[in-house]
Amino acid sequence: MSILMSLLITVLVIGLVLYLVRMLPLDSQIKNVVQIIVIVIGIISLLRYLAVF
């Protein structure tokens, strides 16, 4: 149950950060780079919760 809650919280935080990045008044290329970085960090953290790393 703890792993499920951690996964859910991680997905919600990733979604919130991606939403906030889209709201920033930045150049579209910078937004894309930041979104990719957030997604990669999110995938790595999800894989850590699943004990892949």
The 10s digit of each residue's pLDDT in 1-53 is 688 888 899 899 999 999 999 998 989 999 999 999 999 999 998 888 887 76
What pTM, to 2 d.p., does this model score?
A: 0.80
How far is residue 21's CA from residue 18's CA, in Å, rounded to a whole number? 5
Residue-level pLDDT at 49: 81
Say if CB 21 and CB 31 are below 8 A apart: yes
DSSP string, 1-53: -HHHHHHHHHHHHHHHHHHHHHHS---HHHHHHHHHHHHHHHHHHHHHHTT--
Residue-level pLDDT at 1: 65
Q: Name the residue type at position 11.
A: V
